[in-house]
A and B are shown apart, each in its own frame.
Chain A
């Protein structure tokens, strides 16, 4: 049950992200695309370093551990 619930939540989050990306690509949307979010986050030194740290963590999480 927990396994199925966890998988369902992961799928739901993926669908939510896809829906936001779709909404963000519409004209005059108040929702930014994921690319615009990353551009905004990476415009500050701390945001830039955090983004790269997250990327390194993802590689370590999936491939090394």
Chain B
């Protein structure tokens, strides 16, 4: 049970605790211990991103630095979808066609440029981003953004 101390020193029961989450009539909130855990987890992620951002492309370190969190988040996301997922809205033919145009165009352009050698004349998006991603701090920030997106997908 979760209890709260009232201004007049009375202790009242406000809900139940499960996995450090307090469920009350007003919803579910994290306990202080859980919140501290989340903060520390993100601190570790930031340090990891800074470390991973220092590895150059085409090295075993950069490959490992992507595959370790990548496959972990992939496994978490596929094997353990959240209990409460947003209800899908019917996207309809118009919506599907509208979004398919830029998304499929992007895929086709990437594949064609890759088959043409991913050269400066036919650059893939990663080649265009190389001048930015060659800078440690930008690379680490991009790495962090990638992990944040992955974690957001796990919770979706």
Inside 8 A of B128's CB, which chain A residues have their CB? Answer: 7, 10
Q: Which residue of A lies closest to B122 (CB)?
A: A2
Q: Which chain B residues numbered 98 to 156 have a C-beta less than 8 Å away from chain A? A: 98-99, 101-103, 105-106, 109, 113, 120-126, 128-129, 133, 139, 142-143, 146, 149-150, 153, 156
B28 interface residue per 8 A CB criterion: no
B88 interface residue per 8 A CB criterion: yes
In the bound assembly, the distance between CA atoms of A48 and B63 in angstroms comes to 23
- With contacts A16-B102, A39-B156 taken as known, whether A63 is within 8 angstroms of B57 at the C-beta atoms is yes
Q: Which residues of B contact A (CB under 8 A)?
A: 52, 55, 57-58, 62-63, 65-67, 69-71, 73-74, 77-78, 81, 85-92, 94-95, 98-99, 101-103, 105-106, 109, 113, 120-126, 128-129, 133, 139, 142-143, 146, 149-150, 153, 156
Contact between B123 and A55, CB atoms less than 8 A apart: no
Inside 8 A of A60's CB, which chain B residues have their CB? Answer: 63, 66-67, 70
A59 smallest CB distance to B (angstroms) = 5
Number of A-B contacts (CB under 8 A): 133
Q: Which residue of A lies closest to B64 (CB)?
A: A64
Main secondary structure of the interface of A (DSSP, over half): helix
Known: A10-B128, A37-B95, A63-B52. 8 other contacts (CB 8 A): A32-B91, A32-B92, A34-B99, A36-B89, A49-B78, A52-B73, A52-B153, A63-B142
Inside 8 A of B150's CB, which chain A residues have their CB? Answer: 52, 55, 59
B34 smallest CB distance to A (angstroms) = 25
Q: Which residues of A contact B (CB under 8 A)?
A: 2-3, 6-7, 9-10, 13-14, 16-17, 20, 24, 30-32, 34, 36-40, 42-43, 45, 48-49, 51-53, 55-56, 58-65
Inside 8 A of B74's CB, which chain A residues have their CB? Answer: 52-53, 55-56
